[in-house]
A and B are shown apart, each in its own frame.
Chain A
Amino acid sequence: MSNTSENPNPSSSSAKITLKTSDNELFEVEEAVAMKFCTVKQYFEDEKDNDVAARGSSTVIPLPNVHSAVLARLISYCKKLPQSNAVADNHEEEETKKKERKQYGTPGDLVDLISAANYLDFKEGLEFFNQALADHIQNKSVEYVRKFFGIKGDFEPHEEEKYREEYAWAFEGVDED
Chain B
Amino acid sequence: MGASLSNLADGSSGLDSGPGLGDIPESCVACVFLYLTPPEICNLARLNRAFRGAASSDSVWESKLPANYQDLLDLLPPERYKSLSKKDIFALLSRPVPFHDGTKEVWLDRVTGRVCMAISARGLAITGIEDRRYWTWIPTEESRL
What total of chain A residues lie within 8 Å of the partner, measured CB to CB?
A: 48
Q: Which residues of A contact B145 (CB under 8 A)?
A: none
Residue numbers in B under 8 Å from A151 (CB-CB):
14, 18, 21-22, 47-48
Q: Chain B: how many interface residues by the 8 Å CB criterion?
A: 48
Q: Which residues of the other chain, B, contact A148 by a CB distance below 8 angstroms?
A: 18
- In Å, the complex CA distance between A161 and B39 comes to 17
A-B contacts, CB under 8 A, total: 152
Kindly provide the distance from the CB of B13 to the nearest chain A CB, expressed in whole angstroms: 7
The answer to whether A149 touches B46, judged by C-beta atoms less than 8 angstroms apart, is no
Verify if B138 is at the interface (C-beta below 8 Å from A).
Answer: no
Q: Which residues of A contact B (CB under 8 A)?
A: 65-67, 69-70, 105-109, 111-112, 114-116, 118-119, 126-127, 130-131, 133-135, 137-139, 141-142, 145-146, 148-155, 160, 163-164, 167, 169-172, 174
Residues of B within 8 A of A (CB): 1-5, 7-9, 11, 13-25, 27-28, 31-36, 38-49, 52, 55, 91, 94-95, 110
4 tightest A-B CB contacts, nearest first: A150-B18, A108-B19, A67-B3, A150-B15
